[in-house]
């Protein structure tokens, strides 16, 4: 760890020295890394970022509910639900993969205990399915967190649009850098949680296989 940290510090110092001493660095610093412009634009960009966060939550919850509904629709067996099942088949989300990954013996055991189909799905199948699809869902959430910036194309003043307005006002591109840094800072906790959940799921599967 000490060798890795030392080599990283040395490489970082060399890169900083090379960039800072390059002929075009003063011009780049003035256009993209102006502290005064960054401070001035921070409030407006943060206000726009709040719209991105709300959009992320709304889209994540909506996608989760829609995917779960479609996955459950595909499991309906009575003939009366055939139109709904056929419609759900045409658009299947990753939840179904989690539901189908639960061994049929689990359902059979639950039904033999007297649980209805709905009770079996709620108490037996879905808890196992959610644990299995959690890592890919979190990966999708990280990707969605990056994609919510596209809402600026529709006109609302989010972080990207606020940075664009500040850039047009100051004729400086530093607000875009501020917006990019904020998006990265927002993604770091999600990436850390995703890595932790993925590692935990891998360990659980390893223990289950050993057992």
CB-based contact 93:70 (threshold 8 Å): yes
Per-residue pLDDT for 157 more than 50?
yes
As a whole number, mean pLDDT of residues 5-27 equals: 91
Distance CA 143, CA 141 (A): 5
Whole-prediction pTM value? 0.70
The CB-side HSE value for 157 (13 A sphere, CA atoms) comes to 10
Q: What percent of the chain has pLDDT over 70?
A: 91
Tell me what pLDDT residue 94 has. 42
Residue labelled with tokens 């991105």: 52
Which of the two residues, 49 and 116, has the higher pLDDT score? 49
Using CA of residue 172, residue 177, residue 183, residue 185, what is the dihedral sign?
Answer: negative
CA distance to 35, 51, 72, 171, per residue, from 68 (Å): 46, 26, 6, 47
- The CA-to-CA distance between both ends of the chain, in Å, stands at 34
Dihedral angle at the C-alpha atoms of 133, 53, 62, 197, nearest 10 degrees? 10
Give the pLDDT band (50/70/90) at residue 44.
very high
In Å, how far from its chain's centre is CA 186?
10
Q: Residue 31 class from Cβ within 10 Å (0-12 exposed, 13-18 middle, 19+ buried)?
A: middle
| Region 34-203: CATH code | 1.10.3720.10
Q: What is the pLDDT of residues 170-186, one digit of tens each?
A: 899 999 999 999 999 98
- Is 17 in a helix, a strand, or coil? helix
Q: Shortest CA distance to 98 belongs to which of 62, 136, 41?
A: 136
Give the pLDDT band (50/70/90) at residue 127.
confident
Token digits for 22? 């390059």
Domain ranges in the chain? Answer: 34-203
Give the pLDDT band (50/70/90) at residue 203.
confident
Which of the two residues, 153 and 91, has the higher pLDDT score? 153
Per-residue pLDDT for 209 more than 70?
no
């Amino acid at each position: 760890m000490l060798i890795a940290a030392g080599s990283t510090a040395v490489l970082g110092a060399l890169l900083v020295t090379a960039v800072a001493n390059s002929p075009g660095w003063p011009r780049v610093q003035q256009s993209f890394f102006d502290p005064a412009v960054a401070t001035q634009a921070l409030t407006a960009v943060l206000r726009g970022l709040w719209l991105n966060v709300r959009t992320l939550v709304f889209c994540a919850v909506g996608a989760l509910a829609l995917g779960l509904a479609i996955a459950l629709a595909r499991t309906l067996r009575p003939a009366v639900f055939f139109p709904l099942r056929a419609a759900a088949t045409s658009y299947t989300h990753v939840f179904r993969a989690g539901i189908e990954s639960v061994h049929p013996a689990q359902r059979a055991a639950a039904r033999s205990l007297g649980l209805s189909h709905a009770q079996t799905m709620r108490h037996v199948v879905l808890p196992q399915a959610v644990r299995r699809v959690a890592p890919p869902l979190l990966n999708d959430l990280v990707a969605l967190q990056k994609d919510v910036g596209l809402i600026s194309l529709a006109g609302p003043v989010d972080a990207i649009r606020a940075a664009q307005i500040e850039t047009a006002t100051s004729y400086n591109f530093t607000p875009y850098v501020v917006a990019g840094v904020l998006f990265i800072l927002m993604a770091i906790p999600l990436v850390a949680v995703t890595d932790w959940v993925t590692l935990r799921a891998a360990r659980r599967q390893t223990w289950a296989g050993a057992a």
